[in-house]
Amino acid sequence: MIRLVPTPAQRRLIMLALASGVWLVSFAELARMGTWTTFAVGGAVLALAALVFGAVPAALLRPSAGKVAAGLVAGVLMAVLTHLAYAVVAPLVPEVRAATSRLLGLLNVGGFSPGARALLIVVIATSEEVLFRGALGGDATPGIRGLQRGDLLAVAALAAVYALATVTLGSPLLMACALGCGIAWGVLRVVAGSLVVPIVAHVVWDLGVLVVWPLASSG
């Protein structure tokens, strides 16, 4: 019997493929035009579709004080570690400073007011977590659980897809950051059984390296 209605797993794969395509186009547009509009609009539309059509369970977005606090702690820790690593490595390896400056230029972070950057970060980071970490599947689980081998493989695979979706910007540094952060946020998604934790961590990290404490100032 032919199944005409996609299963939840198939819906997640469809949304992941669509998100990857939109991100590839959006990064190409960012490199060419310096605009984040395609990310904000395309990401929000796809994230909403993922929730409406059941690719991502809405329960994964149910907030709680504990989840928000965990996301805040994780995001601040990631931002601080990023600044510390940059401050140590940049003076020793000039290529890192040059690559960071080039990436910030490509991202056009100086082309928006701090308020506009913050709003875009919230929208885009939330969309990315729903689409890329939501693709990990699974319903919301009560409390914290351990990581299994299959979880780690899925987290690594989706982080690789997330990193490859940035290739059209032409920044190896961004690809490396996307891979590392994608793994960290994926682990948070699985362990917490929630998308709230990685969303908050993602937003806080982005704000911490782009708006509140721009990364280039740490070198």
pLDDT per residue over 26-79, tens digit each? 999 999 988 898 999 999 999 999 999 999 999 999 999 999 999 999 999 999
| Domain presence at residue 1 | no
The answer to whether 195 and 189 have CB atoms below 8 angstroms apart is: yes
The answer to whether 100 and 109 have CB atoms below 8 angstroms apart is: no
The answer to whether 208 and 109 have CB atoms below 8 angstroms apart is: no
Look at residue 113 and tell me whether its pLDDT is greater than 90: no
Average pLDDT over the chain, rounded to an integer: 91
**What integer pLDDT is reported at residue 142 of this predicted model?**
52
Q: Which residue has the higher pLDDT, 82 or 4?
A: 82
Q: Which residue has the higher pLDDT, 4 or 132?
A: 132
Per the structure, the count of domains in the chain is 1
Query: What mean pLDDT do residues 86-107 have?
Result: 91
Give the closest residue to 106 by CA, choosing from 158, 17, 163, 167.
Answer: 167
**Structural domain boundaries, residue 145:** 8-218
pTM of the model: 0.93
Residue 24 CA from chain centroid, whole number: 14
Tokens of 176: 């490396």
Composition of the chain by helix, strand, coil, percent to 5: 80, 0, 20
| Predicted confidence band of residue 144 (pLDDT cuts 50, 70, 90) | low
| Predicted confidence band of residue 197 (pLDDT cuts 50, 70, 90) | very high
| Domain presence at residue 2 | no
| Domain presence at residue 88 | yes
